[in-house]
Amino acid sequence: MYTPTRDTTGEADIPRLVREAQEGNEDSLSRLYELLSDRIYRYILMRVSHRETAEDITQVVFIEMIRSLPRYTERAGAKFSTWLFQIARHRLIDHYRRQKTVLSLDETLESHPNMQVDPAPPPDDALVSSGNLTNLLKHLSERQQTILHLFFQEEMSLREIADILDISIVSVRVEKHRALKKLKHMLLVKDSHLPLI
């Protein structure tokens, strides 16, 4: 079972820990897990919104990390965590492929453009809370949600995000800008009586 950990004190040690883990040092492997598991879990949980599923996928990511570690080679300018997030992204894609039997509302509307859905009006006293923001984020594309999470929550650079998503830095910058613009618009519409801070 996944146990959340958050330890940023040893992140500078990751390259050394990777080398030692590749040489068979189990303590270094455990330390890598301690340093990175919480970040990977949060990233996956943001995408699947179900704790048990996120725990399962996180375990699969770290099992794959252990299996692939002997073949891992450090690239100039790329962090080990970027490689690990790429594994997590691929396992999420696998998860969604297996879950593809249920069409999302967006897919249904795209394939049936004449179908109309009247959204429930938001309450007049709705405040911009984390719950409201979470609901607003769900209106963004999966890529935009991922970019915002990696940029703001994981504090990754545009280069790292581009590497994880296998897109250009310019694409990351444009998607981030569009996502923030869309969120701002939704907040203005939803809470037009509240000033933006």
Residue ending a domain, choose from 73, 102, 131: 102
Domain count, the chain: 2
Q: Could you tell me if 182 and 148 lie in one domain?
A: yes
Does 52 fall in a domain?
yes
End-to-end CA distance of the chain: 40
Q: Could you tell me if 97 and 24 lie in one domain?
A: yes
- Nearest to 30, CA basis, from 7, 53, 46: 7
CA angle 30–21–1, rounded 5-degree value: 30
Q: Could you tell me if 94 and 130 lie in one domain?
A: no
Structural domain harbouring 97:
1-102
Distances (CA, A) of 41 to 33, 53, 56, 85, 164: 11, 10, 10, 10, 16
Does 109 fall in a domain?
no
Q: Could you tell me if 41 and 80 lie in one domain?
A: yes
Instruction: Count how many Cα atoms sit within 13 Å of the Cα of residue 111 in the half-sphere of its side chain.
Output: 6
pLDDT one digit per residue (tens) for the chain, 197 residues: 555 555 445 678 899 999 999 999 999 999 999 999 999 999 999 889 889 999 999 999 999 999 999 999 988 777 899 999 999 999 999 998 888 654 444 444 455 444 444 443 343 334 345 556 777 888 899 899 999 989 988 888 999 999 999 999 999 999 999 999 998 888 887 655 555 44
Does 115 fall in a domain?
no
pTM (2 decimals)? Answer: 0.67
What CATH number does residue 132 fall under?
Answer: 1.10.10.10
Q: Could you tell me if 2 and 62 lie in one domain?
A: yes
